[in-house]
Structure 1
Amino acid sequence: MKRNVLIIGAGGVAHVVAHKCAQNNAVLGDIHIASRTLSKCRAIIDSVHEKGSMQQDRHLQAHALDALDIDATKFLIRATHSRIVINAGSPFLNMSVLQACIETGAAYLDTAIHEDPSKVCETPPWYANYEWKRRQACKDARVTAVLGVGFDPGVVNAYARYALDTCFDSVDSIDIIDINAGNHGRYFATNFDPEINFREFTSTVWSWENNAWKANAMFERSQEWDMPVTGKSTTYLTGHDELHSMSQNLGVPNIRFWMSFGEHYINVFTVLKNLGLLSEQPVRTARGLEVVPLEVVKAVLPDPASLAAGYTGKTCIGDLIKGVKNGIPQEVLIYNVCDHKVCFEEVGSQAISYTAGVPAVAAAMLIANGTWDVGEMVNVEELDPMPFIALMNRMGLVTRIRDAQGDRVVDPELDMDQKAVAGRRVSYG
């Protein structure tokens, strides 16, 4: 059993990860939080204590760390006796933290694909450009590395695996739909790191269609969806991490990602982009100062973590899957609804950070108890989704399914019991 967790990062997602690790420290052991800014780590620890999130009286400690420094990260992993590292920091850190885990034997988890600060929307599949190059190294070292285990990517990958395993004989399409029907009350803000948020939308939109990569421009293709609780929303085809692994692992010919955007967001985004303020390439000012425009925009926008207190409304994220079962066409929606206000009351977070942080901790618990401790690098859809969904149901992210039989909670534990009964029936004739 693996115990003791090192959390890399001190932003909104790391805040949720710390709270949820604390709530489950009987399984996970000691908790350490590391970031370049020590005061942010300490603020998270103060929040954990204020909310009474500690399940047991165990170590909860803050550390200063530049996670791009592999040797420093290795030293901290060993010094804290951490056997699980949850990388909830910037995607720019992934490869450095992953290497430190390979060299120390600690399990590695992250919530987003690696990015090179100087490049945007590289040639698909993105995982092949970075993380997958370390597959053999993980296998040789018997290091478990679970990639992209937030919500999207992460939970939506598990939803797809669950649907393929239980609802269909064959699947033609998976449409991942991400709706945020919340209101933070600010003139303009992003729900997670502005730099990462904008980088997703400033270049080519890649989707997987007819077993090939298809390129579009951002906001070129739109679709209205009528989702549970949030109702009708206009979404836009967007490139996203999970497409790049699911397209390679699931054998489904069409996989697309759709995200909701309001007109105000699109207008502000368009102005910033047309002015060159979303560029990741440095420019020189009249005073001779070299700056990256995108970093300047990030600096003047609200910290996403600051949005939580006044956030209202709900999110709805899920997979709409179409295929065939017993020769009959089927359509299934597997989804989660999350409430911004409820998240804030529990852990002081908004729902965007909550939906990304909870799955990472659920995955850490499955590694700790051996269920997902596979000793190699995997994406979420390569793992058994049943224990993952069952655990999240108990941790605050309840999975529902809508199909021809109605709308109901997905109960993997019941499904597993039914499979066991069916197995006994086969065994005993």
Structure 2
Amino acid sequence: MKDVLVIGAGGVSSVAVHKMAKNPELFGKITLASRRQFKCDAIAESVKQRFGVTIDTAQVDADDVAATSKLIEQVKPNLLVNLALPYQDLNLMDACLNTGTDYLDTANYEPRDEARFHYGWQWDYQDRFKNAGLMALLGSGFDPGVTSVFAMYIKKHLLDTIRTLDILDCNGGDHGQHFATNFNPEINIREITAPARHWENGEWVETPALSTRQVFEFDQVGAKNMYLMYHEELESLAKFIPEMERARFWMTFGEQYLTHLRVLQNVGMTSIEPIMFEGREIVPLQFLKAVLPEPSTLGTTTKGKTNIGDIATGMKDGEEKTFYVYNVCDHEDAFEETGNQAVSYTTGVPAMIGAALMLNGTWRGEGVFNMEQFDPDPFMDMLNQHGLPWQVHELDGPLKF
């Protein structure tokens, strides 16, 4: 039995820890740590009430490498699961190297002072982890994470080669708020307001944020407006499926959400440039985050479903075919099981699965790895077993846009 240290106490962390505790055959001792220990204690109490499992909690500042290293040495986990903020990825990787501990996260590194994320910073740790005999698994969430595994499943079982790939992320849920984000508001808004990029004919094509819209009919959700965006799995998919001619990422947004977002942008509230206010320096977007609803509180009111998946076109036995692999997750079902809405659930469950596959030796290696580098089948099997069942449909042809 292997022990884990989970860093972070938001909705995703809550889901992951609940699912770990629900599966004691996969996980030994679970320790949950965050800068605000009272949030860890609340999650621990929920786990105790739901599943009768006791987890340990601790306080740590994930920005402090020395403090995190000290905690790791005290807890002695087999794996550190980073469910904190992307800003803290490199510090937590450093702490793992200091202590000889394997590492997993769900989102790639992003500096605080620049709205830019890419895998290069973490890929640069390859030799350090390899030389230390350690493993780091990057992006074990849904997107990135499951979407990458879906693509590799398609390539292994359904297509000989993938020519085009479209990732479609639809949240059809309604939380009843005028404006709220379903995961960390600061990260969410930085991501949405960044220029869109997609991979085409061996290069990145950039377009203005939210400037390309299409309508798509999502199973169990209905027709939704979806917008072309840049998302980190495009970078790793372009690397590990080199024959792809085009890869795109789409996300749905309602008009009310976009209207509020435009107003906030116009008045400067989405800026990450510090300003002076009453004699102290503040970052407008961080202030906005403080006044918006906490994503982990949205589960009580959110109704509806998410639908996230991959549409891939390519060749199979000399014939062009198109397949759609996707998952539908119900917000209310997710809340009933873990006390969290489906956006947190669809990220927290894959984090648990990735951790389980590392701990039981199914996915192993020395160095820094993306999801695409491992056999998709064990992960796909566990999705069906642990609350995120998927389905495959062959489509009449490729997307027309």
TM range (shorter): over 0.9
Q: Which moved more, 1:367-376 or 1:291-300?
A: 367-376
Q: What CA distance in whole angstroms lies between the structure 2 residues aligned with 1:394 and 1:115?
A: 32
Task: Give, in whole Å, the separation in 2 of the partners of 1:332 and 1:74.
Answer: 45
Alpha-carbon distance, 1:253 to partner:
2.0
Q: Deviations over 1:273-323 (max 9, x none)?
A: 1111101110012x2221100011101100001100111000000001111
- Give the partner amino acid of 1:324: M
Which position in structure 2 is the counterpart of 1:249?
Answer: 240
Work out which of the residue numbers 248, 254, 258 in structure 2 matches 1:262: 254
Within-5 A mapping of 1:270-309: 270-285=262-277, 287-309=278-300
Matches within 5 A, 1:1-80: 3-52=2-51, 54=53, 60-80=55-75
Give the counterpart of 2:317 among 323, 326, 351.
Answer: 326
The AA in structure 2 aligned to 1:135 is Q
Residue 136 of structure 1 pairs with residue 131 of structure 2:
no
Which residue does 2:168 correspond to in 1? 177
Answer yes or no: is 1:88 the counterpart of 2:83: yes
What are the within-5 Å matches in structure 2 for residues 333-352 of structure 1?
A: 333-352=324-343
* Cα displacement (A) at 1:352: 0.2
Match of 2:141 among 145, 150, 160: 150
The reply to whether residue 163 of structure 1 matches residue 154 of structure 2 is yes
**1:137, 1:223 → 2: CA distance?**
43
What percentage of aligned pairs have identical amino acids?
40
Say which is worse superposed, 72-81 or 383-392, in terms of deviation.
72-81
Shift of residue 158 of structure 1?
Answer: 0.2
Counterpart among 195, 199, 203 of residue 212 in structure 1: 203
| Kept in 1: contact 2:73–2:99 (CA 8 A) | yes
Shift of 1:404: 5.4
1:240 is the counterpart of 2:235: no
Q: In structure 2, what is the Cα distance between the partners aligned to 1:249 and 1:284?
A: 45
SS of corresponding position for 1:201: helix
Give the deviation of 1:103 after TM superposition: 2.3
User: Do structure 1's residue 360 and structure 2's residue 351 form an aligned pair?
Assistant: yes
What's the counterpart of residue 110 of structure 1?
Answer: 105
SS at match of 1:27: coil
The separation in 1 between residues aligned to 2:115 and 2:197, in whole angstroms, is: 12
Match of 2:114 in 1: 119
CA contact (8 A) 2:2 2:77 kept: yes
Among candidates 301, 314, 338, match of residue 310 of structure 1? 301
Distance 1:249 1:404 in 2: 24
* Counterparts of 2:162 and 2:358, CA distance in 1: 29
Q: CA deviation at 1:373?
A: 2.1
Residue 214 (structure 2) aligned to one of 223, 230, 233: 223
**Cα contact 1:92–1:117 (8 A) shared by 2:** yes
For the 8 Å contact 2:21–2:51, the answer to whether it is kept is no
SS of the equivalent of 1:29 reads coil
Q: What amino acid does structure 2 have at the position aligned with 1:390? A: D
**1:25 match: secondary structure:** coil
Match of 1:358, SS state, is helix
TM-score by length of 1: 0.90
Size of the alignment, in residue pairs? 395
Task: For 1:16 and 1:379, locate their aligned partners in 2 and report how far apart those are by CA, in whole Å.
Answer: 22
Return the offset for 1:231.
Answer: 2.1
Asked whether the 8 Å contact 1:23–1:53 carries over to 2, the reply is no
Matched residues in 1 for 2:272 and 2:308: separation? 29
Q: 1:267 & 1:327 partners in 2: Cα distance?
A: 47
Quote the Cα distance in structure 1 between the aligned partners of 2:152 and 2:250: 19
SS at match of 1:192: coil
Corresponding residue for residue 188 of structure 1: 179
How far off is 1:53 after superposition?
Answer: 5.9
Separation in structure 1 between the aligned mates of residue 208 and residue 4 of structure 2, nearest angstrom? 40
For residue 235 of structure 1, give the secondary structure of its aligned residue in structure 2: strand
> How many Å separate the matches in 1 of 2:104 and 2:71?
16
What is the Cα deviation at residue 127 of structure 1? 0.6
Structure 1 residue runs of 5 or longer lacking an equivalent are 406-429
Tell me, what secondary structure is at the counterpart of 2:111? coil
TM-align CA RMSD: 1.3
Q: CA deviation at 1:169?
A: 1.6
Shift of 1:26: 2.6
Amino acid at match of 1:47: S
Quote the residue 2:94 is aligned against: 99
In 2, distance between residues paired with 1:26 and 1:362?
13
Amino acid at match of 1:28: F
Residue 121 of structure 1 contacts residue 204 of structure 1 at CA under 8 Å; is this kept in 2? no
Indicate the SS of the match to 1:342. Answer: helix
Unmatched 5+ residue regions in structure 2?
A: 397-401
Instruction: Determine if contact 2:324/2:395 at 8 Å carries over to the other structure.
Output: no
Q: Say whether the 8 Å CA contact 1:88–1:111 is kept in structure 2.
A: yes
TM-superposed CA distance for 1:20, in Å, is 0.8
Quote the offset at 1:105 in angstroms.
Answer: 1.9
Shift of 1:144: 1.0
Which portions of structure 1, spanning 4 or more consecutive aligned residues, are displaced by more than 2 angstroms?
Answer: none
